[in-house]
Amino acid sequence: MDFGSFVGIISGLSLIFSAIFLGGEFLSFINIPGLMIVVGGTVASTLLTFEFKHVVTAFKSAALVFLSKRDNPNDAVETMIKLCKISRQQGILALSDVKTESGFLKKACGLIADGSEEATIRAALETEIDYLKMRHYNIQDVFKKMGTYAPAFGMLGTLIGLIQMLTQLANPETIGPAMAVALLTTFYGSLISTLFCLPIAGKLKSRTVNEVMNLEIMLEGSVSILNNDNPLIVYEKLSSFIPVNSRVPVEQMNLRGRR
C-alpha cells in the first residue's frame, strides 16, 4: 500500500469532518438531492466524454494509488547489470531464456538475442514507452475531467437551490435553511474535486513518470548490453537516471542470479 496516499486521504477526511463536528450539526451537511446532482452529473459527463471501458479502466487504475508500491528504479538498474553479466559470460543468446514478469524487458531481451541493431531496439522500445504514456494520459485525463466537472455541477446545484429558494420568498423562515442546502452542492463539488479526483490524477501522473523512468533505464541498459559494455559502465550510465541521494552503490546491489 502507498503509505503517503493512505495518510493523505485519511488526514484530509479527518480534518474536514472534525471541522464539521466542531462547528455544527453533522446531519446539516447531508443533502441527498445535492449529492445526486454533483455525483450523478459528474459521472454522466465523464461517460459522455470518454468511452465506458476507459472510465472503468481509470477507476481500476485508481486502486493502484492505494494498493501498489512504487517500483524502485535501483531495482531496474540492478536487473540490467545482471543481464549484462549474463550476456558477457554466456553470450547474448542466453538472454532469450531470461524469466521476467516485465513484458517490456522480455521484448528487449528478445531483440538483443536476435541480434537486432541499436536503431531497431531503440525504435521498438521507444514506441512501447510512447504508447504507455498515451494510455496512462487517458487514465489521468478521466480524473482531471472529473475534477473539473464536480465543482461545475456543484454550482449548478447551488443555482437550482437558489431558484427554489426564491420561489419561497413569501415565507422568510425558509430562506436560511434553503440557502444552506443550496450551498451544500458547491461544498460537495469542491470536496470531490480537491480531495479525490485531482489528487488521484496527480498521483497517477507521478506513477507514470516513475514507470517511464524504469523503462528508460531498461532501454539504455539494453543498448549497453548490445554494445557489450562493462557492468560498471552500465551502472554509471543507468544510475544517472536516479537522484544522487537515492542511488544504491553498485557494491550494495545483489548481483547474483537472474531476475
Do 96 and 116 touch, CB atoms closer than 8 A?
no
For 141-155, write each residue's pLDDT tens digit: 999 999 999 999 999
DSSP per position, 58-86: HHHHHHHHHHSPPPPHHHHHHHHHHHHHH
Average pLDDT over residues 148-177: 84
Least confident of 16-20, 25-29, 145-149: 25-29
- Percent of the chain exceeding pLDDT 90 equals 59
- Predicted pLDDT at 1: 58
**At residue 19, does pLDDT exceed 50?**
yes
Number of neighbours of residue 251 by Cβ within 10 angstroms: 6
What average pLDDT score do residues 51-77 get?
A: 87
| pLDDT the model gives residue 138 | 93
pLDDT exceeds 50 at position 259? no
Q: Does the pLDDT at position 106 exceed 50? A: yes
CA dist 50 and 121 (Å) reads 34
Q: What pLDDT does residue 257 have?
A: 43
The per-residue pLDDT for 125 is 95
Largest CA distance in the chain: 90
Rounded Cα distance between 32 and 42, Å, is 15
pLDDT at residue 225 is higher than 60: yes
Look at the chain and count its residues: 259
Per domain, the residue ranges of the chain are 1-30, 32-259
Q: What is the pLDDT of residue 255?
A: 63
